[in-house]
Amino acid sequence: MYSFFESVERSFDKAALLTNWEKGILAQIKACNSIYSMRFPVKMDDGRIEVIEAYRVQHSQHKTPCKGGIRFSSEVNQDEVMALASLMTYKCAIVNVPFGGAKGGIKINPRNYSAYELEKITRRYTSELVKKNFIGPGIDVPAPDYGTGEREMSWILDTYQSLKPGEIDSAGCVTGKPISQGGVHGRKEATGLGVFFGVREVCNMPNVMQKIGLTTGIKGKNVIVQGLGNVGYHCAKYFRENGAIVIAIAEYEGAVYNEKGINEEELFKHRKATGSVLNFPDASNIQVSTEALELECDILIPAALENVIDGNNAPRIKAKIIGEAANGPLTPEADAIFAERGVMVIPDMYLNAGGVTVSYFEWLKNLSHVRYGRLEKRFTENMNHHILSEIEELTGKKASDKAHKLIEHGADEIDLVYSGLEETMISATQEIMDIWLSNPSIPDMRTAAYVCAINKVGVAYKELGIFP
């Protein structure tokens, strides 16, 4: 049995054999550069003192700052944080986000603590990071992960700023902040939207689609989504809005099916009102949730948990494309079965990189001290208005109000964030696909993604002159 970090190393080694990098460079790319394991005392509401176990791992500084979430979970341990930090390095490299990988963890179950206790733990953790130079807009930039969100990021920012007064770029010391604290629009839906862009790009490749026996394009494709949380909800929304038919949505209490399509927004409201996705109007119930994954469909999007498709159920999955929105939804046994059967697995390592990509945009916004679109929006609108008026005058025809609105619109922050995310996911998909299709020894897209990451980090190290 391998530890999480050892399994990441094994996947890395498998892909490394398909590259031309020398052993020493590969060893450096793979190694975790800095590991900060800490223990600190926090006084709880009842007067008790508890010693908190926490970590921050910077896997790679081939690009700085390092970037990665902070999770609050009772499962946190050093090996897990090391594995997640290395995956961040590879993920950022693939989507051309110029950061090294990092990850943080505090070994607590946040449900067992009051908001005041969580605030004290988060602030103390941040001041430990400051003391050891493990945080800063040019050093290491945390973000939310399991058990943390905007609230914790605000505490981190405030603690950092009070310890580093006058640091002009301090808002860039953490991402995933509320908008009022320097956050960026579009962060919430970023991962789901990124998954959609990535899968759509694969579906737009005629040669790939022909190989798996599907027509080109997203329109009309039958999609099954597992998980109606943040990522699953937004995946379902973007697939539906772009002409796919979301025939089933699975939650842990069961699944619902309608061959004509399910509206995720209505289902979300129904679940909120009744406590379950079951008994949704016009849909049939599937009591055993996992059975929904085995229905006939074109695209399956697991967006809930890890290890949900393994050696047991993989042979019964009928999807031709599996888009890994969740982290690690397939076991290595399932991977092998799908490779053998020619099922296309689009790997989590880059497919769910929408969150970190938009975090990068937030960091850029913080360093530039200006909201996206502020400078050019009105200029573009005025210019487009002039152009349209000129055309109307020359042709003697009037465009509709709808056309006026569409053509004249200048980009807001959200438009630019979506556009940047779309560009990022399309280029990353194409890069990985080029690597895969140009080397017959690469067995699957996951290995191709690793090869892509290794090549990019290798080049960066070479350019730094570390290996003359």
Burial 318-349 (b: 16+ CB within 10 A, else e): ebbbbbbbbebbbbeebbebbbeeebbbbbbb
What three-state secondary structure class fits 14? helix
Judged by CB under 6 A, does residue 231 bind ligand NAD?
yes
Q: Which two tokens stand for residue 192?
A: 């789901």
Closer to ligand NAD by Cβ: residue 126 or 191: 191
Q: Which residue is nearest to ligand NAD (CB)?
A: 229
d(CA 288, CA 376): 52
Listing DSSP states for 395-452 in one string gives H-----HHHHHHHHPPP-HHHHHHHHHHHHHHHHHHHHHHHHHH-TT--SHHHHHHHH
The site map against ligand NAD for 98-137 (x = CB under 6 A) is ----------------------------------------
Which sign, positive or negative, has the C-alpha torsion 366, 372, 376, 377?
negative
Residue 358, amino acid: V
* Interacting span for ligand NAD (CB under 6 A) from 36-44, 228-236, 315-323, 433-441: 228-236
Question: Could you say which of 191, 359, 429, 447 contacts ligand NAD (CB under 6 A)?
Answer: 191
Judged by CB under 6 A, does residue 355 bind ligand NAD?
yes
Question: Could you say which of 96, 181, 230, 313 contacts ligand NAD (CB under 6 A)?
Answer: 230
Judged by CB under 6 A, does residue 357 bind ligand NAD?
no
Chain positions 270 to 329 lying near ligand NAD, rule: CB under 6 A, are 289, 303-305, 325-327
Q: Active-site residue numbers?
A: 103
Q: Which two tokens stand for residue 64?
A: 């700085």
Residue 195, amino acid: V
Closer to ligand NAD by Cβ: residue 104 or 136: 104
* Interacting span for ligand NAD (CB under 6 A) from 50-58, 229-237, 385-393, 432-440: 229-237
Judged by CB under 6 A, does residue 359 bind ligand NAD?
no
The site map against ligand NAD for 159-178 (x = CB under 6 A) is --------------------
DSSP 33: -
Question: Could you say which of 85, 228, 235, 457 contacts ligand NAD (CB under 6 A)?
Answer: 228
CB 249 within 8 A of CB 257: no
* Interacting span for ligand NAD (CB under 6 A) from 151-159, 226-234, 426-434, 438-446: 226-234
Judged by CB under 6 A, does residue 199 bind ligand NAD?
no
Binding residues for ligand NAD, how many (CB under 6 A)? 20
CB 296 within 8 A of CB 318: yes
Q: Which two tokens stand for residue 289?
A: 């949730």
- The residues that touch ligand NAD, with contacts defined as CB under 6 A, are 191, 226-232, 250-252, 289, 303-305, 325-327, 352, 355
